[in-house]
Amino acid sequence: MDERFSRRAFLGAAGASVATGLAGCAAAPSQGVDSRIDTDDGPLDTFAATEFRGGIQRQGVYPDATIPTDPEVEWTLRDINTGDHTAAKASPVEVPGGDVVVPGDNREIRRVTPEGEVVWTASVAETTRGIHGTPAVANGAVYIGAYDGALYAFDLETGEGYWRTKLGDAIGSSPGYHDGTVYIAVEYYDPSGAMFAVDAVTGEVEWEDQRVTNHPHSTCAIDREAGRLVVGSNDGYLYAWTYPDLEFEWKFETGDAIKGPIATHDGSALFGSWDETVYRVALEDGSEEWTFEPDDMVMSGPSIEAETGTAYVGTHDSRLYALDLADGSEQWNFDTGGSLIGCPTVTSEHVLVGSYDHSCYAVEKATGEEVWEVEGVGVVSSTPLVADGAVYFTDRASSEYLDGDGESDGTDSTPSGQSGGLYKVVSAGGN
């Protein structure tokens, strides 16, 4: 067995970032033990309070959540995503107390109240693509990676930086948290990449494996019952390690890049590939269990609803698919007007998904029939959040189409002449 991994600390160059907001401003300290997270209040969290797709298995299902019945946009916070990079962009997450934390490709991460007031704003180091991942929140800290190749920890209450650990050249994936450790895929310019395990308190590297190649943008999943950590990469392979021992086990080859997050359930991993296929693969040995072939590539990550035996996934062919979890057969599909590269969110009765046609959709999960559509000003590639009966999503509209006063320059790319933003959708009249 090829054992190209080590526990050495990859202590790269550290830098400072500035946090600004309505609550004041603070600087993110450089990496080091002096900037460790305070643990005097008790033991570390075993699981994150919130993270991308609801947990380390990335299933994206919220069985008790309900959505607005007569939707209207209550407020919009602008200048969230302004870059042109064609990728699924960071998604909002709810934090304890009901506020929302939302990152953007403008390098900023903000904590926002349900009323739309910004509590604090923090920034990562200078990088043209900012933040594409979605944060994990644990131990009173917000963990997020950025395209400067660093993993950050910010104080949830104040936005002040705890530590910054330089791991590689870019991070486009979302962190996973379990039992005091943060797990994240990291990219290098080579092109190559690595999986890292980082101490959640100090930011020090606990483990790394650099066999993952060609810019791993995929978000890892951890399946404790199956004893596996899995992640995809642009080299077309799904990689698997034992968990928690982190010994390499196998890799599964597809025909093109695996860019989306991996989801796990019942001893299997589900994911899409740019080879125009959705796969279910056994976590034990990496053997193929079934495939489904839509009409275009797949960047979206599947949602897995065990109760109904259904997987939901979006594709570049503009459709949201409901698949039988047992054999991958199609149950229904819903056609939007654009590519689906973000992940769907499953609630008690509905599936939410954003589209490149500038809209966020709600469909009945039993039939695939449209319930409502809410239009933004740019492409919707974030994963929708449902919190306290409201829906939050972000869209992307490039700032290059705005003049210095924030007005449209007359192009067609941003129809309303506004930059991308965070939207809160509620029922009209509070119903």
**Length in residues, the chain:** 431
Residue 391 to residues 56, 277, 320, 337, 394, Cα–Cα distance (Å): 22, 29, 18, 21, 10
pLDDT band at 417 (very low <50, low <70, confident <90, very high): low
Identity of the amino acid at 230: V
The candidate with the shortest Cα–Cα distance to 226, out of 4, 346, 56, is 56
What is the 3 state secondary structure string of 260-293?
A: CCCEEECCEEEEEECCCEEEEEECCCCCEEEEEC
Q: How far apart are CA 299 and CA 314, in angstroms?
A: 8
Contact between 162 and 37 (Cβ < 8 Å): yes
> Looking at the whole model, is its pTM more than 0.75?
yes
Q: Which fold has domain 15-37+53-430?
A: Methylamine Dehydrogenase; Chain H (2.130.10)
Task: Give residue-wise pLDDT tens across range 219-273.
Answer: 999 999 999 999 999 999 999 999 999 999 999 999 999 999 999 999 999 999 9
Which of 120-134, 195-209, 348-362 is predicted least confidently? Answer: 120-134
Q: Which two tokens stand for residue 224?
A: 């404790």
pLDDT surpassing 50 at residue 26: no
Which structure tokens are listed for 84? 């042109």
User: Would you kindly state where each structural domain of the chain is located, as residue ranges?
Assistant: 15-37+53-430
The answer to whether residues 173 and 90 touch, using CB atoms and an 8 Å cutoff, is no
* Per-residue CA distances from 376 to 77, 82, 170, 358, 425 (Å): 12, 14, 28, 5, 11
pLDDT tens-digit map of 166-183: 999 999 999 999 999 999
Q: Which tokens is 61 given?
A: 């299902």
- Tokens (6 digits) for 431: 């119903």
Structure confidence by residue, pLDDT tens digits, 58-117: 999 999 999 999 999 999 999 888 877 777 888 999 999 999 999 999 899 999 999 999
Examine the pLDDT at 55 and tell me if it is beyond 50: yes
Strands ordered across the beta sheet of 288-292: 263-265, 268-273, 277-282, 288-292
3-class DSSP state for residue 52?
helix
